[in-house]
Amino acid sequence: LGSFGGYVATENKAVELLVNKSKSFIYTSALPSVIAQDALKRFESNREKQRIKLEKNTLEFRKGLNSIGYKIESKSHIIPI
């Protein structure tokens, strides 16, 4: 569901550098509310489909890990390995 903006996952020092030195970040404003509302509506309308896909992907991943010898006891979509 691409629409607007970006995301960076990194260490705190890199975040500080980007926040303080990146002109494209400094001179931009917050996400427009209409964009946020649209994204929320798209997520909500697609929630059940996403849940089913996550459940299927988790099951397939768990089966794959079991087939190569990993014993997966978690019933959650979060699978510690």
Checking if the pLDDT of 66 tops 80, the result is yes
User: Where are the chain's structural domains?
Assistant: 1-45, 46-81
Give the number of other CB atoms < 10 A from CB of residue 57.
Answer: 11
Q: What average pLDDT does range 52-80 have in this prediction? A: 88
Q: What would the two tokens of residue 32 be?
A: 């427009």
pLDDT (tens digit, 9 = 90+) per residue, 14-41?
A: 988 988 888 777 777 777 888 888 888 8
Max Cα distance, the chain (Å): 52
Averaged pLDDT of the chain: 84
Q: pTM here? A: 0.46
User: For residue 68, what pLDDT is reported?
Assistant: 95
